[in-house]
């Protein structure tokens, strides 16, 4: 319809290619207004109407809306369970892996790993390839140390009870296997990108969930 409007000419005259390009502005503005503003207004009106109807059953209640929400929150609240080791040596590891500084350090390392992955390109030199292989081993070692520290801090049962920790451990183990295969056979040198990408995604999501 947009293209037909642009090609349209006078009455009883055939279309001309791109005769009125400026008419496209009307369609663009129309789509933006209708698709975003009018639709949001309609959805908002429906939501407000449902909320008003839902409040009707509480019209004789002595508590206002905020007070009712406080009561509902108090009734639904559940204590947050958090594993804290009693062993003083284990507690030191637990304190480190749960500290904000440790999370920031891991986040910086993840960003550096992402940067290394982004630097890969077609036709890269042998020196660059060797440097990337070394960086791959370094990052794999760092993530392995992180996994070991968390295993000590949370113990295997507590560590693997977290789905993201389980995911991270599988990726780290896969990366270790991949590094070994890459060193044993150079035909596997390009395979580590997949494992590293999964490490980056898993770790970033894990940190994001922790921060939230």
- Ramachandran angles phi, psi of 199, nearest 5°: -60, -45
Percent of the chain exceeding pLDDT 90 equals 12
Q: Give me the DSSP letters along the chain.
A: -HHHHHH--STT----TTS-TTHHHHHHHHHHIIIIIIHHHHHHHHHHHHHHHHHGGGTT-SS-HHHHHHHHHHHH--PPP----SSHHHHHHHHHHTSHHHHHHHHHHHHHHHHHHHT--TT--HHHHHHHHHHHHHHHHHHHHHHHHHHHHHHHHHHHTSHHHHHHHHHHHHHHHHHHHHHH-GGGTTTHHHHHHHHHHHHHHHHHHHH-
Q: How far apart are CA 190 and CA 165, in angstroms?
A: 26
CATH class, range 88-211: mainly alpha
pTM of the model: 0.55
Residue 60 has pLDDT above 60, yes or no: yes
Average pLDDT of the segment spanning 56-74: 74
Contacts of residues 132-137 at CB distance under 8 Å and 24 or more positions apart, as own/partner, are 133/182, 133/189, 136/179, 136/182, 136/192, 136/196, 137/179
pLDDT at 189: 47
Residue 152 has pLDDT above 90, yes or no: yes
Residue 179 has pLDDT above 60, yes or no: yes
For the four alpha carbons of 184, 187, 189 and 195, in that order, the dihedral sign comes to negative
Residues contacting residue 207 through CB under 8 Å, at least 6 positions apart = 103, 106, 107, 110
pLDDT tens digits along 183-208: 766 544 444 455 555 555 555 555 55
């Amino acid at each position: 319809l947009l293209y037909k409007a642009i090609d349209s000419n006078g009455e009883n005259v055939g279309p001309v290619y791109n005769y009125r390009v400026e008419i496209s502005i009307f369609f663009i503005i129309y789509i933006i207004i209708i698709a975003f503003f009018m639709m949001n207004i309609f959805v908002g009106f429906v939501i407000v109407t449902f909320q008003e109807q839902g409040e009707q059953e509480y019209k004789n209640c002595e508590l206002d809306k905020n007070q009712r929400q406080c009561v509902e929150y108090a009734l639904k609240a559940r204590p947050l369970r958090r594993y804290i080791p009693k062993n003083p040596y284990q507690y030191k590891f637990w304190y480190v892996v749960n500290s904000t500084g440790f999370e920031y350090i891991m986040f910086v390392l993840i960003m550096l790993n992402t940067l290394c992955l982004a630097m890969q390109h077609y036709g890269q030199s042998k020196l660059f390839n060797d440097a990337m292989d070394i960086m791959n081993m370094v990052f794999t070692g760092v993530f392995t140390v992180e996994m070991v520290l968390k295993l000590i801090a949370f113990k295997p049962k507590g560590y693997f009870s977290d789905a993201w920790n389980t995911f991270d451990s599988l990726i780290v183990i896969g990366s270790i296997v991949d590094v070994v295969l890459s060193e044993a056979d150079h035909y596997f040198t390009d395979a580590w990108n997949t494992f590293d990408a999964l490490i980056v995604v898993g770790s970033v999501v894990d940190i994001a969930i922790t921060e939230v």
